[in-house]
Structure formats: structure tokens, C-alpha cells
Structure 1
């Protein structure tokens, strides 16, 4: 058995060498290690998969790294073992993977799998949550900052809130209706939680063939604090949820946009469509 281990060296603040050592201790399989550089990573992973007989792919990084690997496997069907090692690990939260290193390695090397949906957004895949507006602004500032991990996010939160470019005007076509809304953020969600663990989409399921548009209408500290509770019931004055399989989103001006924790760019138009049972992941 051969395993491809994809590592994002700069994700989060975890010790990747210790992780590699622990994986090697728990399997006798041959491991091919690929470290992302931000340059032609998808093409390089595609070539590795095409020229090797891998049984599975392990991904050490955050949601963005998992997304990158999923895009590289567009025409493949290798199952993915998630090793949560990002600044935010929203997909791992949603799949209820353990946070202890020994435990999540055991899951990634195990046999129990689950097929999950993806969302095709413009020309990219989304496995977790994408958004236009406030959160994308925060990720933009974080990526330009000097600090990684949750501390880096926290450091950028206050200045981003004070300097946000919102609210924004959104025109949404979904479920054969045109909807005009104004808000500080519009999320395209395939799951329940942000990478911080904040519960924003209580009815969301990662394998139900539907995604949700989440319109956050205003900044409300009390409602934001409620997202940190397990069974958060958010006010409709704060959040509007639109379940759909396909959506087209237009803005009056360019708005910052992110996919799975990776800043893309400011844009005015987004096309989103569900891709049911797109990828197989190991679960406990």
C-alpha cells in the first residue's frame, strides 16, 4: 500500500515534522511526501497521483489545503484522510474528527469512510464554506499579516470590524426566484460551522445534496456570541438561510471573496452548484 501525504508547511502553528514521524510509526505503508509551495501545487499533485499507485491521500493542513487536493483529484477517486493542521479546521469540525494528533492519525489510516458533497463555485471547488464580505475581508488581512494560527486571526479581527467595506447589496437567483438583499456577508455553506467552530448553519449537512446561502444582515455582538453555543438559534433579523442546489449571485460593486479559508479576490459575480457525493473522506 502506498500513501500520498500532502503537507502545507505554513498552515496553522503545528509541528509538521512531529506529525510525519507519528504517521510513519503507525503504518508500514510506503509514504510519498509532498509539501505545498503555492506554485503549481495542483498540477504537481495531479502528476504524482497519475504516476503512482496510491491507496489514499492524507492531507495535513486546513480547509484550503484539502480543497487543493480535491481539485487535483478531479478525475480520481482516492479517499482522503484529514490531518487537521490549519489555522482553522472547519471541515474537521463538521466531520467531528478528533483534535488529538494520535486520534486523528488513527482515523486517517482507518477504514471507515463517508462520501461528502462539494460546491462548484465559478471554476473552483468548495468543500466547506465560502463567503462574500466581512469574513473574506478578515482572511485577506490575515494572509497579509505576519502571524499564523488563531492568534493571527484574532489580531486582525478588531481592525477589520472597524474598517469593513460593508454592508453590500446582493442580487440572488435561486430556486427560480430573484432575491434582493443587503448585508455584511453572504456565505455559501456546505456545512454547519466556520473553522473557528462558530455554529452558523444549524440545518446544514455535508452530504444532503443541498447547500445553504447564509445572509448575515448586520453585525450583532449578541448574535455572534450565540454562534459559539452548540444549539445556536440565530435571529432572522441577523441571519437569513436559503437552501438551494444552484445559485447565481451578483453584487453592485466588487466584494472580497474567499473559498474554504483561502482568499480569492474581490468580484461581482458568483455561480454556485452542488456536486453530490464528490469526495470520500475517512471518519471515526
Structure 2
């Protein structure tokens, strides 16, 4: 595959998914032409946004390859949102829900070829309290789990499983959610409320079967019941979601408030506990290489 006179920035999250990224880096180097201007940046968790903005001005990449999970893709989308970036994803995170929704394979060699290819899909994003969301964000029990997982030394799906039990045993759920959209207002009780721009959690759990990442709409999902065994299976992607378990509201914008602070996460990144969130769809904000 030839990429002549192309500037490519490769952003690598070295700790995502508990995967050694050095073999992936070598495969990327071997997949491009020697004439390609290839620049690598490894995230550190310290001032990554600032450094990447500086790299944008310095490198001015034609394409950005992301070696990581949903959180790393979100970081790139936020940094480069005003530059109409073309993004290629090599899914190497604990949470790869966006790649899964776009049918990007977990096989590294196949993912690299797609990431460097010339077939693209424009995707929507969500503006969530002035932050950017690409995939699924939620208030409640899954955000609690992600917060515990982020503080754990055990990564991957096993890390999720290990943190599921104490999360479910010690949760403050159920929560009272007050939802206002352009079409309706309602109050309801549940263990979790999700804003879904697609249909799967990063674990592969199907939570929004009718969701599409490019339809100019998103879904609010209110999960009603606290069934420990089934919730663990759903979070691990072992079963599809029972449609009787969730209430679905499709919209283009919403405000949600709660009676007490509720843990909140955006694309797999914990944001602490909040009592109010505003969400609006932003159509066709990113161009991602797909198979």
C-alpha cells in the first residue's frame, strides 16, 4: 500500500487494554511507504491535549491513526475537531465499542490496512456538557464500574469482571432521572441512564439495537432493574439486552437532572458525579476509515 507525500500522526495509548503496543508500532511502520512522513506520539495522561494541539500545528497530518480504545479516539476527536480529521482506528483498548460498531476488526494487521485505506464513514458526535462524546455515555451503575475499573491495576475484560461484583453490591442505585427533550418531559427511576450514539458498549454488549452512528439522532436509554447476574452478563457482552429491561427515547437534544449526584462517564472515561447534563447531537463531525 502506497502513501506517498502523506503526513500521518500515530497516537498510541501505551497502557490501554493491557496490550504491548510496540509490535503494533512496528507493523504500522512496515505498512507505509518510506516516503510517508510518519510521526508517533505516546499519551502519558499529562497534558496530552495541549501536546497534541501543538503537534497538529507542527505536523498538520493528513491522517491520524489511533492505537488505543474509545477514550483515545475521543481525545483525538476533541483535539482535532476543528480540522476535519481523517481517523484510522487500530483497536487496542479495554473498551473498543466504536471500532466494533464500525466493523473494524480486532486483528491488528487487518485493522492497519483499513486505517490506511480509502473507504470512509462520516459519524455523528454528541456535545455533552461542552465535552465531546462519540459512543455511549451514561449516569449510574456502569459509570460506577468504570470509575472503579479506572482505579484498578487489572486491565482488560477480566478487570471489568473483577470490579463488577463490588460495584453491584455497593451501588447507590436506583436513581431518579428527570428527562426533558424537545418532544417530551418525564421523570423515571432506574439503575442507569445512557446517551447512545451507537448500539454497543465497549465490551460488546448490545444496549441499543436500533442505534446508528450517522443518523443525526441519539437514544436515551433508561435501565430499570437491578438484576446482578444479568447485569454482569450484559456488561461483559455475553447476552443481548432484554428489550423489557430498558426504556428508549430517540431525540436530537435533551437535559437530564437527578435528585442526588450520580456517577457519570463519557466514552469509557469517568467524569465524577453530577446532577445535571445537557446533550445535543452534532451530525457528521468525523471521518473514520472503515472496511
What TM-score, normalized to structure 2?
Answer: 0.93
Contact 2:143–2:270 (Cα < 8 Å) also in 1: yes
C-alpha displacement of 1:74: 2.1
Match of 1:193 in 2: 200
Match of 1:152 in 2: 159
SS at match of 2:144: helix
Q: Map 1:54-133 onto structure 2 (within 5 A).
A: 54-133=61-140
SS at match of 2:81: coil
Of residues 236, 254, 257, the one that matches 1:247 is 254
Instruction: State the superposition RMSD in angstroms.
Output: 1.5
Distance 1:157 1:248 in 2: 28
Q: Does 1:275 align with 2:275?
A: no
Of residues 235, 253, 263, the one that matches 1:256 is 263
Length, aligned pairs only = 282
Distance 1:269 1:219 in 2: 23
Distance 1:9 1:271 in 2: 32
Contact 2:206–2:241 (Cα < 8 Å) also in 1: no
Match of 2:3 in 1: none
C-alpha displacement of 1:40: 1.6
Q: Does 1:25 align with 2:33?
A: no
Distance 1:229 1:22 in 2: 31
Unaligned runs of 5+ in 2: 1-5
C-alpha displacement of 1:175: 3.0
Match of 2:14 in 1: 9
Unaligned runs of 5+ in 1: none
Match of 2:219 in 1: 212
What TM-score, normalized to structure 1?
Answer: 0.96
Contact 1:223–1:235 (Cα < 8 Å) also in 2: no
Distance 1:247 1:117 in 2: 16
Contact 1:81–1:282 (Cα < 8 Å) also in 2: yes
